[in-house]
Structure 1
Amino acid sequence: MREFELFRDGMGGTVRIAAIPSAAAVLLPLLVREANERYPGIRIEIMDSLAQVALAGLLNGDVDIAITTSSNLPDSVLYTELLEDRFAVIHCSDHPFTTQKQVTWAELARESLVMFDGNSSIRTLTDAALTEIGASADITAEASSIPVIAGFVSAGIGVAAVPGLVTPLMMAPGIHSTPLGTPAVVRHVGIAQILGRSESPACTQIVALLREITTTNTAHPIQD
């Protein structure tokens, strides 16, 4: 009876979340910490994956919600934006970009680039920005992992364009970050849920808490 009451009141149960790696690493630790304090009876299960895998898990019913980008979502998905993820360039601390307040995409295109591979939502936006200015990329290395990209940059192999949510995961001695602009490129990150799918009270609590901690802890949250 006690377990049922906790479930009914949104204080107990399991919530399964799929999230793109940057959100899983930056947002979800804050979410789990706060949820453990407020709702100790709720268990949160996390699957970190690329955007298309997170979406597939949501559509298949393997997870309750997905934290993903706004791109290529079907009509059956309700998307609630959490933040606008603005791009920066990471580079060695002795690179000339260190002295600039901002780097343009045209300046970036003249550099040797370390790129996320073609399965990444980050790569899609990077390619689109370079195409918009009529530039092609001089790619010296590609990888799917955030630490691997950071390792290539740290070794001086090239510079990398990354969203702001990713930047803290790449900061290490010898690496510097400079904002990217002109054109302004933003990755939209939010909560995806299935329209009409029954949602547990615990899931409702966690979604509300996720919106709260995102507003409090990120640089570019969406304001109602």
Structure 2
Amino acid sequence: MDLNLRDIRALVAVAEAGSFTRAAERLHLSQPALTVQIRRLEEVVGARLFDRNSRNVALTPTGRELLPLLRKSLQDMENVLRDARALGEGQSGTIRIACLPTFAASALPELVIDMKREVPRVTFEVRDVVASTVNALVRNEEADIGLTGGDVLDPMLEVLCTGADRLVAVCPGDHSLARKRRVSLRDLARASLVLTAPGTSVRAVVDAALSESREPLDIACEPTYMMTAVAMVRAGLGVTILPETARELRAEPGLVAKEIDHPAFLRSIAIVKKRGRTLPAIAERFVMLMRRAVEK
């Protein structure tokens, strides 16, 4: 027979009340039921814990030695139960998210602030990486949720929500394309290009769109990160194509973003989790916030 929380709580209540009657009232039990709990605890310990007569109840020497140990155990277990309940109800916990750098630098900070306002005890582990790495982190359970780009073809991932990022052409303010109201596919095909590296979700969209042009492309360089692409454009190496939500664009007042007059320059984005895995309640709450940013 093992110690259980109810029996420990019964001993502490009787010791503090000095009476089976008062302890039973405090625990909302009948006195016979409380007596059974104390006897069961005494059987587990193998010693008498209370001396009792018709007038009072007193701890035995063994009971006095056990009381502080059992009181601490009771407090520890109640803390564990409280923390477990908070986790189960989404009132605490860690949100492990992998996401595209554009999302991490645009919508995510505001979403984290909103979540912390609702759940002050929440913590975040954020991995801002390219789409293929987002998918791998979620698939390998190193992240619970992911915000990825491009078509989600991995059968191990479940799509929870989808949206889209419009891509824009970015060039210096004195570039010839900066004078155009809209940039055409032909304009891009004839420009010197700074494109994000193959394997990135933006590059996949750009390659598919530019494949309609029959002209050979002039690709000056292929950085992995958007900030690097922006720096290359600022230096005069060419024109880049980035999501219009990218904060890197706002940090460069000398650059302009031009709408591309072609429907193919849209990057699909999606919130994903590993198929067949249950999300922590806290992550479920955060997904609800993310949906508003992704679906708008």
Mapped partners of 1:106, 1:74: distance in 2 = 34
Quote the residue 2:271 is aligned against. 191
Q: Residue 28 of structure 1: CA displacement?
A: 1.3
- Residue 125 of structure 2 corresponds to 45
CA offsets 1:100-119 (integer angstroms, 9 cap, x no match): 22111111111111111113
Structure 2 residue 244 is the aligned partner of structure 1 residue 164: yes
**Structure 2 alignment gaps of length 5 or more:** 1-80
One-letter amino acid of the counterpart of residue 133, structure 2: V
Q: Do 1:65 and 1:191's aligned partners in 2 also have CA atoms closer than 8 Å?
A: yes
In the alignment, what sits opposite 2:72? none
Partner residue in 2 for 1:146: 226
* Dislocated runs of 4+, deviation >4 Å: none
- Pair 52,158 (structure 1): closer, same or farther in 2 beyond 3 Å: same
Matched, 1:12 2:84: no
Q: Deviations over 1:112-166 (max 9, x none)?
A: 1111111311111111111123333201122112111111111111011112232
Q: What letter is aligned with 2:275?
A: L
Which of 1 and 2 has higher RCO (CA within 8 Å, sep 6+)? Answer: 1
Q: Which residue of 1 aligns with 2:166?
A: 86
Contact 2:205 2:264 in 1 (8 A): no
Q: For 1:170, give the aligned amino acid.
A: L
SS at match of 2:271: strand
1:135 and 2:215 matched: yes
Report the RMSD for the aligned CA atoms in angstroms: 1.6
Which residue is equivalent to 1:24?
104
Q: What TM-score does the superposition give when structure 2 sets the normalisation length?
A: 0.69
- Rounded Cα–Cα distance in structure 1 between residues aligned with 2:281 and 2:262: 44
Q: TM-score, normalised by structure 1?
A: 0.89
Following the alignment from structure 1 to structure 2, what is the Cα–Cα distance between the partners of residues 138 and 33?
43
Higher normalized helix content (fraction of residues)? 2
- Separation in 2 of the partners of 1:135 and 1:22? 30
Q: Which amino acid aligns with 1:169?
A: E
Structure whose alpha-carbon radius of gyration is higher:
2
Distance of 1:11 and 1:134 partners within structure 2: 56
Q: Which residues of structure 1 form unaligned runs of 5+? A: 215-220
State the aligned residue count: 215
